[in-house]
Amino acid sequence: MVDLSVTLSNVKLDNPIIPASGTFGYGMEFKDFYDINILGSFSMKGTTKEERFGNPTPRIAECTAGLINSVGLQNPGIDFVVEKQFPLMKKYFNKPIIANISGFSIDEYKYCAEKVDKEEQVGIIEINISCPNVHNGGMSFGTEAKSAMEVTKAVKSVTTKPVYMKLTPNVTNIVDIAKACEDGGADGISMINTLLGMRIDLKTRKPIIANKMGGFSGPAIFPVALRMVYQVYEAVKIPIIGMGGISTAKDVIEMMLAGATAVEVGSANLKNPYVCKEIIEALPSEMEKYKIDSLKEIIGKAH
């Protein structure tokens, strides 16, 4: 019997497979199609203080081996999620979830973090710092070491659960940002969010996405994500949840060798809603093939 279990901070997972934020809703759309309790955990749709409609459509553009999205954090707001969605979630998911939250100011991050920190079902709080800071000319919190650290400290000051900072790859040096988060007290790093990209429609000669640009994800970004996880693993001591293009059990093993303790699977769920189940089922034979008895043992072994 191979051992798939891993531990993120104090949260023990049966396996390292976690559907990524924004590609799994709050689990509702998947629960009737397979038993989602086989998952290690799942990261809920990025939730903000206020309810958000998000961006105009088209929000989706296809790419070679991936897609661009500009959903714009559509969500019903943290109060609704905590009051209405969490009690429902408890009925169909009996493991700790990862609460992904976003904000447009430090206060919004604090507000949301404080709320989810009180929820029994939340195992880890994942802070998406790719959002623009409305008090700083719209510059994303995650693109400056200073503001990334500020968010980390602010969230840590109001929470007791492990806080994982989710990094954007759209920076000159992601290692600096990761270190700033660690210095700010982060318990772990989630990486990577989407890469800024765009597509143009040759017939209309205009961008396909209404917002012109959006976040690029899917298998095409796997090598970039892998490289960044590898670099950050060398620079920080806290655990990393690796993501970006993961679609197979092999990708999971590769990402863990680079330094990830667990992985999130995003876009692949959109193409194949059963992909996480299939990866979990394929992992044991894939591990045997590469003579791995326990997944824990391979974390960072490429270094």
Partner 1 sequence: MYKKNKYTVRSNKQIANLVYEMVLEGDTSYITKPGQFINIEIDKFYLRRPISICTYDESTITIIYKVVGEGTEVLSNLKEGTILDILTGLGNGFDTRRSKERPLLIGGGVGTPPMYGLCKALIKEGKKPVVVLGFNSKSDVFYEKEFKDLGVEVYISTVDGSYGTKGFVTDIIRTLNGYDFYYTCGPMNMLKAVYELIETSGELSLEERMGCGIGACMGCTINTKNGPRRVCYNGPVFKKEELVW
262 binds ligand FMN (CB under 6 A): no
284 binds partner 1 (CB under 8 A): no
Angle at the Cα of 29 from the Cα atoms of 25 and 31, rounded to 5 degrees = 110
Smallest distance, Å, CB 8 to ligand FMN?
16
Q: Which of 205, 197, 252 is nearest to 229 (CA)?
A: 252
By the 8 A CB rule, do 217 and 61 touch?
no
- The footprint of ligand FMN on residues 8-27 (CB under 6 A) is 20-23
- The footprint of partner 1 on residues 151-210 (CB under 8 A) is 208
Q: Which residues pair with 7 in a beta bridge?
A: 12
The one of partner 1, ligand FMN, none whose footprint includes residue 143, by CB under 5 to 8 A per kind, is none
Q: Where are the extended beta strands (E) located within 14-77?
A: 17-19, 60-63, 66-69
By the 8 A CB rule, do 168 and 141 touch?
no
Smallest distance, Å, CB 130 to ligand FMN?
7
Size of interface with partner 1, in residues (CB under 8 A): 36
The one of partner 1, ligand FMN, none whose footprint includes residue 74, by CB under 5 to 8 A per kind, is partner 1
Residue placing its CB nearer to ligand FMN in the complex, 98 or 145: 98
Q: Where are the extended beta strands (E) located within 27-166?
A: 60-63, 66-69, 97-101, 122-128, 163-166
The one of ligand FMN, partner 1, none whose footprint includes residue 283, by CB under 5 to 8 A per kind, is none
By the 8 A CB rule, do 54 and 215 touch?
no
* φ, ψ dihedrals at 26, nearest 5°: -110, 25
- List C-alpha distances in Å: 217 to 107, 115, 170, 264: 29, 29, 13, 12
Smallest distance, Å, CB 165 to ligand FMN?
11
80 binds partner 1 (CB under 8 A): no
Angle at the Cα of 222 from the Cα atoms of 193 and 68, rounded to 5 degrees = 55
Q: Say how many C-beta atoms besides its own lie within 10 A of residue 254's C-beta.
A: 20
Smallest distance, Å, CB 207 to partner 1?
13
23 binds partner 1 (CB under 8 A): yes
The answer to whether residue 131 is catalytic is yes
Quick one: how far is CA 119 from the chain centroid?
19
Q: Which of 63, 112, 131, 181 is catalytic?
A: 131
How many residues belong to the chain? 303
Among the listed residues 272, 289, 290, 303, the single contact to partner 1 using CB under 8 A: 272
Quick one: how far is CA 28 from the chain centroid?
18
The SS3 call for residue 51 is coil
Among the listed residues 9, 38, 74, 211, the single contact to partner 1 using CB under 8 A: 74
Smallest distance, Å, CB 39 to ligand FMN?
15
Site residues (CB under 6 A) for ligand FMN? 20-23, 45-46, 69, 71, 73, 100, 128, 166, 193-194, 217-218, 221, 243-246, 265-268
Site residues (CB under 8 A) for partner 1? 22-25, 28-30, 32-33, 45, 53-54, 57-67, 69, 71, 74, 208, 218-219, 267, 269-274
Report the catalytic residues: 131
